[in-house]
Amino acid sequence: MLWYLVKIYLVHVETLQFRDKYLKFVTVSSHHIVRDNQEPALIIANGESCDLGLLGDLIEWTPYTVVLDGAMQRVLEAGIRCDVWLGDFDSGNEINLQEYPHLSHIQKVHIENQDLTDLQKGIEYLIQEGFTGVNIVWATGKRQDHHLNNILTLSKYSERISLNIIDDYSRIYPCPNLYKKWYQKGTSISLIPVGEATGVNTKNLRWNLSNERLFLPNFTSSSNEVLEDGFVEISFKDGHLLVMECWD
């Protein structure tokens, strides 16, 4: 019963945060009921910056922040707290952390593997560190090749770790084969396949799907919306599907 009440509380908190635009989407569990590494880590990529209020909320709750390669200069200029600076450091960024005594705690992790993007390196590093969830910011906008790769990367790791890309206008995450979540009426939701997703069914959306095959570029469920306050149900049989919760 206690866990059930905690779950209801979390849903209520998350709903209020959507209404206020800023997310504390870190599966905001009480510090009294989580173990080490159960709260999501945070990855700061090198795309378009998000609102500092949103970033501050995420950092307040995260136990561990990883900055990817070329983003470090912007992170330092903004005075953002972090724990790890990670990448192959091919961006020409010549920051010497030893020149900043107050940053002596930051660990510099060099990963050379050119078969992985910096984001993929960051995710794999956090998996090795034992984290079960990661929120990712500054991953969208700017260069479109990076933008698209970052979003598609979510599906690559969907069976190994919980991932969310968050910016000022959306939250994007891989959809499990069976998914149920409470939403407010009118919440904008898009279901975007990565390649294709078959046998897609939904409940409580304005335009429900019944055993549909979603596939790029011809058929997606973009700009759908929640029909009534309550639970939305999504299921699919095969493939990969991303949920995009969006707001203006």
pTM (2 d.p.): 0.83
Contacts of 88 (CB under 8 A, 6+ apart): 69, 110, 111, 112, 113, 114, 118, 121
pLDDT, residue 96, reads: 79
Output the pLDDT for position 123.
98
Residue 119's pLDDT band, with cuts at 50, 70 and 90, is very high
CA dist., res. 151 & res. 46, Å (int): 14
CATH numeric code, 178-246: 2.60.120.320
Residue 247 corresponds to which amino acid?
W
Confidence at 7, pLDDT banded by 50, 70, 90: very low
What CATH number has the domain spanning 2-169? 3.40.50.10240
240 Cβ contact partners less than 8 Å away, ≥ 6 residues apart: 155, 158, 174, 193, 194, 195, 197
List every span in the chain annotated with CATH 3.40.50.10240.
2-169
Whether residue 89 contacts residue 64, with contact meaning beta carbons closer than 8 Å, is answered with no
* pLDDT-derived band at 209, boundaries 50, 70, 90: very high
How do 188-203 and 230-235 pair as beta strands? antiparallel
Cβ(40)–Cβ(134) below 8 Å: yes
Task: Answer whether residue 15 shows pLDDT above 50.
Answer: no
Predicted confidence at residue 103, as pLDDT, reads 80
Contact yes or no for 170/151 (Cβ under 8 A): no
Please report the pLDDT score of residue 93 as a whole number: 62
Structure confidence at residue 104 as a pLDDT band (50, 70, 90): confident
Q: Which residue has the higher pLDDT, 198 or 23?
A: 198
Q: Pick the residue with more confidence: 192 or 91? A: 192
Q: How confident is the model at residue 218 (pLDDT cuts 50, 70, 90)?
A: very high
State the Cα–Cα distance between residues 11 and 118, nearest whole angstrom: 32
Q: What is the mean pLDDT of residues 16-43?
A: 50
What is the band of 180 on the pLDDT scale with cuts at 50, 70, 90? very high
CATH code 2.60.120.320 region(s) in the chain: 178-246
**Calpha distance 183→180 (Å, rounded):** 10
- Position 24 scores a pLDDT of 37
Question: Peptide bond before 217: cis, by omega within 30 degrees of 0?
Answer: yes
Q: What is the mean pLDDT of residues 41-54?
A: 95
* Kind plus residue range of the DSSP H or E element containing 146: helix 144-156
Question: Which among 200, 164, 194 has a CA at the least distance from the CA of 39?
Answer: 164
3-state DSSP assignment of residue 100: coil
